[in-house]
Structure 1
């Protein structure tokens, strides 16, 4: 019988015995299929033999090239995905490895070269003994040492207690407080090196427990405390029929775990080598892991970017603001958008006289709870009273919001509030303690300043009067419309309601007279420009609201279908990087769309104009790139539909007063169903220079078509040049070809617009340029998704793959047309967009 303790020396006889056993086992059992155990008599050798769980879910064996490791990976996932590694810090570099189980129940990895023990399962947490030990790989991916033939649940050792970079369903991330065992995830050093890196994720027990992501000893991101439904810092987290979550805080243990309820659903949580925590889902038809969720994903996810008592909001510019009743600690740094010093109280708290009160921060990720206290026996009202009675208490919140009402349990803070952020949806209420004078100011800011009761009453009366008059005017206008457009109401119903039955668009219909007055009877002086849809006019409703009116031209190459498409699609879309549709006008033969007005016009008007382009510094350009990426991610993944824009270009990106980008023009967009990933069309629409090769040539479009257009935009934004140009007279290269040549020559920074200050951050510019090149690769499957693009843009440590051959960078002859087809008669005369009809 062979035992791990039988042969521990380095003698020739010992090595010969190991080699003989390895050869014998290799001959008698080469497949290992169906064998899920290792016993003292049957070790595992590095000869292609593996251990497979009973249900053929996971495999345990040796892997690696040059350096060999013992690991566990999925059996049925075609891409080898290692979820656990035993000897991650000590690979086998000489000879062949042997994983053996000793009679005392200890697993060891040795080599047949010198019998050095590279890894052992012995640990201070392992206690007890087994008379007949066996090491078994279970179908949940857990590798356990237990008593052979026993039905007892006792396990002397299990791999789930020593995770590497992956959390599987049923695994625990956190602490066993009885044994002192801390289970955390540690990222691999690289894609091929499983050695522990500096990135780790685990449960911090200080105060009220939370999960943190660390970079070395620095806290990089946190989940926020568990509130009974989810972590307060992950508003999108919710259980459903396939996936559920749990966070247990008990006197014996504190841990997070997740569970899969559909056997066909394969999901894992990892910390990758770039310091990003991700939930990945295996997509069998695509043969790839799809990012389901990741963090950190924006500036506000970094720990405390706005310092003590500051609030971070990624949808605002600047992202940092002080809590009501607070002011910046360092105003000069604050003006330079560095809020890390945080904020100070305007007025000290008055505990003696009991005049303090609370202001509510809605939709908050609760502040860092490392120094917070929790009492689950208190109601929220009792929590408020207790906080007021404690002179050190600065804020309180409900510990559990899963029940009916405002919540139960009480979290209180007695120090500065750090790492506080807010969400558009999600989060929870935080009650911040303020002095009476600051509380009045906070109320005034939230409700609007008012001088006295009489003025308020007068305003209310006036408002009611205006509302009544407005209602009367609206009724009159509705009657006017109904009498003046008999056939066009049927148009409105047919094109805006029929195909969207059950979907209330809630889109205002403007009267033609109102729009005529607002635009000065469509005055030439108010004309902003003209596109494929028709002319665009500036208008003004009332005294303050400025609008942009797109008027469908009778000679437009776009028509009723595009008009309907834009109304139906954009009416329900709400995102800070999408232009907002205010309403439409359908009267007589007029069809118009009314948008919010963008004072800084379109991106191309700024980017390709030398004078205006000089005003676009690097930070502005970077923010525009990130904003467009977030808008596209919303369209592709986060909106109620999956929408492909199909005509993303510089002229369809508008800039508001703060130079924030807004994607516009959805006339050519397409909605994809839940299971659709790509489609074919007989009608190719879009703009030459921004169209993906597979779309322009074969009519195949997908989210990767928009990714290609985004990549072109990125390179245009950085270079200040249009893609449709000649940048090398000898080779007739367009901008993409020029960029590719510079990249291969190691001169990619030569592409940066000369008007950009040379003090720009080189690594950030290089990263953006490389992302742009990745997006315009020729093969759609090589291009990243927009979720990956946002991740890469927001992470300085993200490891980017090398771009492959780009699309549309081949040489062009001097006589070749700018058209994307050899049939000129098939192309619209509109210089902005093309429409190709081609039989397939």
Structure 2
């Protein structure tokens, strides 16, 4: 690794400290310039800044070269170059070497860190530049490479910081593996808020079978995204937003996850938090007076069922029930005692063993996170019927499913010849998974499902009839009520107890007319008339002992 000659270093340091401004008014660095001390590069749009920093709370003054947001008041570092090798003898200096590598030197002119040697051993890179882009990527470009010193007219990207994430994934960055370059892009938490060196947690793609991303604490898996089925990560079915575009690309050359923001002015970051052990997504909320703050969009693990393989082999987790763990249909707890105590890690075993032949069948579950598929086998161009036959022809096959369901069409096939682990149940349909069982178990489950469906039909019919009757009774009551409300007042006055009615005394029309003209008043006599049924009840059918008097002939 080459470094500037010792005679040049004092000049570089003097330039850094005598500069009247701590920021270089450019987004580029070439082989004739450097940044040191508190000097920085700033992207053309003023979104990001590159420079040396000392983490807040650090007690030893160790310095790191990093990238942070320039347009917000809260200093948020998104990338660190020398997280494993801090500058302990300041000041730090960043230069471009003759072979086009970024190099960090300390106060004694010792190399602390350098980027990959893209020009090759002994090569010379002419017109090499490092540029900080508005998306947060630091890109090293070469204008020409030559072993003899001659130049070429081609400009190529020799190195970029996006290929080496630290704890943060920015929009457009990739999380995964590039098979052509051999680069594996992971994010690893800081050791602490004051120490950006690699911490305990790493989030990365594990190759094999269907694409799936895992959160590790050391060597132990703590969370899995669920396999990618062409439409979604089945362990994150709610990862949808109008403001964000999420995708997973998988082909023979590379497999990766990335995301984009619909509105480029929105600042967003995907961070692995070493304190909580979670992957978190934040967006910057702009406040008045140039202030604001980071607001959480989502985080994982989200609940107890997100814990990796919580319910063991052939078990599944459901946050809507207690206890959380249950066995898949056709299975029972391996340890009923531990299961009853809420420990489902031992998993489940089959109720009836497989016959490895025509005596086996399949039971479908559809609201499940797909089992871990890193050890599963994917068969492209195979129909679901062919996949079923392939599974029945393999005594080790435990289950199968479509490998790609994008657009609502099943494509290819994935077969599990290993125990099914890390499953959980969701309220909504995710994808059909066909669990292999003994045919007797399938028949028993089918009969039980039919009985349940008959009960549901009966309950629904009774509920419908009851609803109609109640509705009819309510309508009849309303009709009677409104008819009574609409009746004239005089007609309601005649409604007396025991069905008695008022009867006005008959009068001679002529006499009444004359009297009415004289007095101007109506002198009615109210008489009550009772129904025969009322009279019979009052006199006990005209019994002799109910008689109160008798007339004489």
1:482 corresponding residue in structure 2:
478
Q: Is the 8 A contact 2:3 2:111 kept in 1?
A: no
Write the distance in 1 (CA, Å) between the matches of 2:451 and 2:373: 32
Q: 1:358 aligns with which of 344, 362, 373?
A: 362
Q: 2:11 aligns with which of 20, 45, 48?
A: 20
Deviations 1:673-694 (A, max 9, x none): xxxxxxxxxxxxxxxxxxxxxx
Aligned CA distance change for structure 1 residues 463 and 267 (closer, same or farther; 3 Å): closer
Write the distance in 1 (CA, Å) between the matches of 2:128 and 2:462: 84
Aligned CA distance change for structure 1 residues 327 and 95 (closer, same or farther; 3 Å): same
Aligned CA distance change for structure 1 residues 23 and 360 (closer, same or farther; 3 Å): same
Unaligned residue ranges in structure 1 (runs of 5+): 9-13, 451-455, 487-840
Matched, 1:317 2:312: no
Aligned CA distance change for structure 1 residues 363 and 143 (closer, same or farther; 3 Å): same
Deviations 1:422-481 (A, max 9, x none): 11135322211111111123224444369xxxxx6xx79976874564244123233145
1:69 corresponding residue in structure 2:
64
Question: If the length of structure 1 is used for normalisation, what is the TM-score?
Answer: 0.53
Matched, 1:100 2:98: no
Q: Is the 8 A contact 2:210 2:229 kept in 1?
A: no
Write the distance in 2 (CA, Å) between the matches of 1:103 and 1:180: 25
Matched, 1:290 2:295: yes
How do 1:266-665 and structure 2 match up within 5 A? 266-274=267-275, 275-285=277-287, 287-352=292-357, 354-405=358-409, 407-425=410-428, 427-448=430-451, 466=462, 469-480=465-476, 482-483=478-479
Higher strand proportion, which one?
2
Write the distance in 2 (CA, Å) between the matches of 1:142 and 1:461: 61
Q: Is the 8 A contact 1:129 1:156 kept in 2?
A: no
SS at match of 1:189: strand
Instruction: Report the CA distance between 1:116 and its aligned residue.
Output: 2.2
Write the distance in 2 (CA, Å) between the matches of 1:442 and 1:341: 24
1:609 corresponding residue in structure 2:
none
2:186 corresponding residue in structure 1:
184
Aligned CA distance change for structure 1 residues 339 and 153 (closer, same or farther; 3 Å): farther
2:503 corresponding residue in structure 1:
none
Q: Is the 8 A contact 2:248 2:256 kept in 1?
A: yes
Write the distance in 1 (CA, Å) between the matches of 2:75 and 2:203: 23
Q: Is the 8 A contact 1:229 1:238 kept in 2?
A: no
Write the distance in 1 (CA, Å) between the matches of 2:137 and 2:368: 37
Q: Is the 8 A contact 2:210 2:228 kept in 1?
A: no
Write the distance in 1 (CA, Å) between the matches of 2:457 and 2:257: 55
Aligned CA distance change for structure 1 residues 34 and 124 (closer, same or farther; 3 Å): closer
Instruction: Report the CA distance between 1:180 and its aligned residue.
Output: 1.8
2:536 corresponding residue in structure 1:
none
Q: Is the 8 A contact 1:235 1:426 kept in 2?
A: no
Write the distance in 2 (CA, Å) between the matches of 1:277 and 1:92: 29
1:134 corresponding residue in structure 2:
129
Query: In angstroms, what is the RMSD of aligned CA positions?
Result: 2.7
Write the distance in 1 (CA, Å) between the matches of 2:267 and 2:127: 34
Deviations 1:753-795 (A, max 9, x none): xxxxxxxxxxxxxxxxxxxxxxxxxxxxxxxxxxxxxxxxxxx
Write the distance in 2 (CA, Å) between the matches of 1:442 and 1:358: 11
Aligned CA distance change for structure 1 residues 404 and 140 (closer, same or farther; 3 Å): same
Alignment: residue pair count: 466
Q: Is the 8 A contact 2:371 2:420 kept in 1?
A: yes
Instruction: Report the CA distance between 1:37 and its aligned residue.
Output: 1.3
SS at match of 2:214: strand
How do 1:154-233 and structure 2 match up within 5 A? 154-233=156-235
Write the distance in 2 (CA, Å) between the matches of 1:294 and 1:468: 44
Instruction: Report the CA distance between 1:342 and its aligned residue.
Output: 0.3
Aligned CA distance change for structure 1 residues 216 and 409 (closer, same or farther; 3 Å): same
Write the distance in 2 (CA, Å) between the matches of 1:290 and 1:461: 48
SS at match of 2:444: helix
Write the distance in 2 (CA, Å) between the matches of 1:27 and 1:124: 33
Q: 2:29 aligns with which of 29, 33, 38?
A: 38
Write the distance in 2 (CA, Å) between the matches of 1:172 and 1:460: 49
Question: If the length of structure 2 is used for normalisation, what is the TM-score?
Answer: 0.79
Unaligned residue ranges in structure 2 (runs of 5+): 56-60, 145-151, 483-553
Write the distance in 1 (CA, Å) between the matches of 2:323 and 2:124: 61
Q: Is the 8 A contact 1:236 1:426 kept in 2?
A: no
Aligned CA distance change for structure 1 residues 4 and 44 (closer, same or farther; 3 Å): farther
Higher relative contact order (CA 8 A, sep 6+): 2
Aligned CA distance change for structure 1 residues 92 and 467 (closer, same or farther; 3 Å): closer
Deviations 1:673-716 (A, max 9, x none): xxxxxxxxxxxxxxxxxxxxxxxxxxxxxxxxxxxxxxxxxxxx
Write the distance in 2 (CA, Å) between the matches of 1:85 and 1:94: 18
Instruction: Report the CA distance between 1:238 and its aligned residue.
Output: 2.2
Aligned CA distance change for structure 1 residues 157 and 472 (closer, same or farther; 3 Å): closer
SS at match of 1:251: coil
SS at match of 1:7: coil
Write the distance in 2 (CA, Å) between the matches of 1:306 and 1:382: 31
Aligned CA distance change for structure 1 residues 25 and 168 (closer, same or farther; 3 Å): same
1:7 corresponding residue in structure 2:
5
SS at match of 2:79: strand
Write the distance in 1 (CA, Å) between the matches of 2:335 and 2:117: 50
Q: Is the 8 A contact 1:4 1:101 kept in 2?
A: no
SS at match of 1:118: strand
Aligned CA distance change for structure 1 residues 27 and 199 (closer, same or farther; 3 Å): same
Pair member with larger Rg: 2
Instruction: Report the CA distance between 1:323 and its aligned residue.
Output: 0.5
Q: Is the 8 A contact 2:98 2:124 kept in 1?
A: no
How do 1:236-251 and structure 2 match up within 5 A? 236-238=238-240, 240=242, 242-251=243-252
Write the distance in 1 (CA, Å) between the matches of 2:458 and 2:261: 58
Aligned CA distance change for structure 1 residues 60 and 461 (closer, same or farther; 3 Å): closer
Q: Is the 8 A contact 2:370 2:433 kept in 1?
A: yes
Write the distance in 1 (CA, Å) between the matches of 2:282 and 2:159: 28
Aligned CA distance change for structure 1 residues 198 and 445 (closer, same or farther; 3 Å): farther
Write the distance in 2 (CA, Å) between the matches of 1:234 and 1:460: 31
Write the distance in 1 (CA, Å) between the matches of 2:452 and 2:460: 19
Instruction: Report the CA distance between 1:287 and its aligned residue.
Output: 1.3
Write the distance in 2 (CA, Å) between the matches of 1:299 and 1:84: 31
Deviations 1:112-164 (A, max 9, x none): 2x222211113699787622211111121111111259995621111111110
Write the distance in 2 (CA, Å) between the matches of 1:41 and 1:460: 80
SS at match of 2:473: helix
Instruction: Report the CA distance between 1:75 and its aligned residue.
Output: 1.4
Matched, 1:143 2:129: no
